[in-house]
Amino acid sequence: MIQRTLPAPGSLRRPIGFGLADVAVILGSLVLLALIARVGAGAFVAFVPPKNVPAISLDPRHLPYYAARSTLRMFIALAASFVFTFAYGYAAARSRYAERVLIPLLDILQSVPVLGFLSITVTGFIALFPGSLLGLEAASIFAIFTSQAWNMAFSFYQSLRTLPTDLSEATAAYGLPAWQRFVRLEIPAGMIGLIWNAMMSFGGGWFFLAASEAISVLNQQYTLPGIGSYVAAAVGAQDMRALGYAVLTMAVVIVAVDQLFWRPVIAWSDKFRLEQSAAAEAPQSWVYDLIRQSRASAALERFVAPAGDALTALLSSIKVPIGGRPFDPRRARIADRVFNVLLGAVVAGLVAAAVRFILSTVGFAEVGHVVGLGALTLLRVVVLLVFASLIWTPIGVAIGFSPRLARIAQPVALFLASFPANFIFPFATLAFIRLHVSIDYGSVLLMALGAQWYILFNSIAGASSIPTDLREMADDVGLTGFNRWRRLIVPGIFSSWVTGGITASGGAWNASIVSEVVTWGSSTLTASGLGAYIASATAKGDWPRITLGVGMMSIYVVGVNRILWRQLYALAERKYHL
């Protein structure tokens, strides 16, 4: 007999008539378009520093506009990150030679502090659009872009390298042109990882957005209308009320973006799961359900279909050589060797030029001094990680062991992780001034404000992934106290903790640039550390010191990654994989 199962109810439910869903979707789209047009126009205003600089009003009625400007920046950066990701990931996965340059480069780019990129590029961007605010706008967007693009590109590259063989063969056997293979197989297969990465780094992006809207470069204070510069202005005016409003607005924006954008996108992307069986619990989103139920989206789809077909036909005619094995392995080996030598020469040349530049301008003694500053900041990061782990791991584990608590606490931890901690800095700064706490110690707390949540979030995730039968076994054999932690909990959450630790440490290094120098009104507290060094060099536009500081931070980050995190990852993979 023919075996038949009924299709899921969802695939049979067809919307009937023109319903409320359509009204909501059409109205929502129109409002969104109008908002973008209104807010986007603000970027095209004259800007001739130092005379013509946009002023920030502390009137809370302007806050929604500022928040919208900031949010628009975030989304432009996100779009740019996706374009970059597809191009970069595709090139790296397709060409053996590109791969050998692009992937190590990605490793280095990932280690450069995001605000370091801002320091290096902001003058260039301002020069690119003389007399317009667009240059600053571009610099800010670029800073956010650098906080997202690298790990998205890496995620896409990895999914391209691990495409399921059978699917890859099927597209080859049916002769799919490169473009169709790209949109039918390669993008969908990488989609889930890509969106997850984008969402996590989008959350982190708010921090850099806030930091990049009000910056001082070349002894100049630059301001870009936005919620970050609103906070900066409030700090300058010592206006506690305005700060409170800003924090509230930011919280509303984060929740709104999550509900209106990320939830629907995640619910939509669930269909790109590679498992062939239905998932136990599919992610839900009311916005996504609304859009799916409306006929407006289906009508739009039909409307654009012919144009889509024409575009597909056009793009399908592009031929991409398949990155297959070279025909003669011996000749390929010689070509490889030549390539490696050339690449090595270029890298050595670049490093030599950088070293010469630094040594000829600031001298060897300064380099030694900066190494010491880096060690101080490293010490802060380590202290932060140790304390955050000691405090948040037990709490995270307690939450993770209770599914009901975990369901509530996990989104909260994620929210706290994406809330830009620099909005809270002024409150802490004020407390430091009043209580006479040295910023040398206080900056650890500031760095922790953002970074600690990653430890909490991953502890919860790790604890809830420990199988129930293992916990029951532990109860059964009477494993309690220290032994319970040693034998069950620590090994069980180890992988997750490593993920949390690596994210928190990256966040802390990045935050050091704004945590080691803080202001309240006219008083400025400066810690000694690498972050403060980069911040002051940027403010003065001191190129050799910017290069030295940013380079040193990259070396520290890469070094710690290689020496510590990579080993821990390998250990987690090998031994503690559940």
According to the binding rule CB under 8 A, does residue 173 interact with other proteins?
Answer: yes
* Residue placing its CB nearer to other proteins in the complex, 66 or 182: 182
Which segment (39-47, 63-71, 271-279, 443-451) binds other proteins by CB under 8 A? 271-279
According to the binding rule CB under 8 A, does residue 272 interact with other proteins?
Answer: yes
User: Hey, which residues between 498 and 517 contact other proteins (CB under 8 A)?
Assistant: none
Quote the least distance from Cβ 311 to other proteins, whole Å.
13
Quote the least distance from Cβ 296 to other proteins, whole Å.
19
* Residue placing its CB nearer to other proteins in the complex, 275 or 476: 275
According to the binding rule CB under 8 A, does residue 16 interact with other proteins?
Answer: no
Burial letters for 292-313: b for 16+ Cβ neighbours within 10 Å, e otherwise? bbbbbbeeeeeeeeeeeeeeee
* Residue placing its CB nearer to other proteins in the complex, 97 or 272: 272
Q: Are 496 and 458 in contact (CB under 8 A)?
A: yes
Which segment (50-58, 251-259, 273-281, 439-447) binds other proteins by CB under 8 A? 273-281
According to the binding rule CB under 8 A, does residue 3 interact with other proteins?
Answer: yes
According to the binding rule CB under 8 A, does residue 566 interact with other proteins?
Answer: no
Which segment (82-90, 117-125, 174-182, 228-236) binds other proteins by CB under 8 A? 174-182
Quote the least distance from Cβ 280 to other proteins, whole Å.
12
According to the binding rule CB under 8 A, does residue 176 interact with other proteins?
Answer: yes
CA dist., res. 20 & res. 63, Å (int): 31
- Tokens representing 361 are 């301008």
CA dist., res. 246 & res. 497, Å (int): 32
According to the binding rule CB under 8 A, does residue 180 interact with other proteins?
Answer: yes
According to the binding rule CB under 8 A, does residue 219 interact with other proteins?
Answer: no
Please give the span between the terminal C-alpha atoms of the chain, in angstroms, as a whole number: 41
CA dist., res. 273 & res. 315, Å (int): 26
According to the binding rule CB under 8 A, does residue 184 interact with other proteins?
Answer: yes
Among 24, 98, 109, 167, binds other proteins (CB under 8 A): 167
Nearest to 463 by CA among 397, 393, 388, 407: 397
Which segment (35-43, 140-148, 166-174, 247-255) binds other proteins by CB under 8 A? 166-174
Binding mask 320-359 for other proteins (x = CB under 8 A): ---------x------------------------------
* Residue placing its CB nearer to other proteins in the complex, 3 or 219: 3
Distance of CA 8 to the CA centre of its chain: 36
Residue 493, C-beta contacts closer than 8 angstroms, at least 6 positions apart: 393, 396, 397, 400, 458, 459, 462, 463, 466
* Residue placing its CB nearer to other proteins in the complex, 264 or 396: 264
User: Hey, which residues between 280 and 319 contact other proteins (CB under 8 A)?
Assistant: 305, 309, 312-313, 316
* Residue placing its CB nearer to other proteins in the complex, 15 or 541: 15
According to the binding rule CB under 8 A, does residue 163 interact with other proteins?
Answer: no
| DSSP of 454-498 | HHHHHHHHHHHTS-HHHHHHHHHTT--HHHHIIIIIHHHHHHHHH
Classify residue 549 as exposed, middle or buried by CB count within 10 Å of its CB (0-12, 13-18, 19+). buried
* Residue placing its CB nearer to other proteins in the complex, 17 or 175: 175
According to the binding rule CB under 8 A, does residue 185 interact with other proteins?
Answer: yes
What are the distances in angstroms from CA 108 to CA 114, 137, 161, 194? 12, 25, 20, 20
Quote the least distance from Cβ 299 to other proteins, whole Å.
17
* Residue placing its CB nearer to other proteins in the complex, 108 or 313: 313
According to the binding rule CB under 8 A, does residue 175 interact with other proteins?
Answer: yes
Quote the least distance from Cβ 185 to other proteins, whole Å.
7
What are the distances in angstroms from CA 291 to CA 23, 205, 237? 10, 27, 44
Q: Tokens 């592009």 belong to which residue?
A: 318
CA dist., res. 95 & res. 495, Å (int): 32
Q: Are 494 and 191 in contact (CB under 8 A)?
A: no
- Tokens representing 148 are 């997202």
* Residue placing its CB nearer to other proteins in the complex, 12 or 563: 12
Which segment (25-33, 265-273, 347-355, 377-385) binds other proteins by CB under 8 A? 265-273
CA dist., res. 184 & res. 194, Å (int): 16
Q: Are 214 and 223 in contact (CB under 8 A)?
A: yes
Q: Is there a cis peptide before residue 50, judged by omega within 30 degrees of 0?
A: yes
By CB under 8 A, name the binding residues for other proteins. Answer: 1-5, 7-8, 11, 164, 166-167, 169-177, 180, 184-185, 188, 271-278, 305, 309, 312-313, 316, 329, 574-575
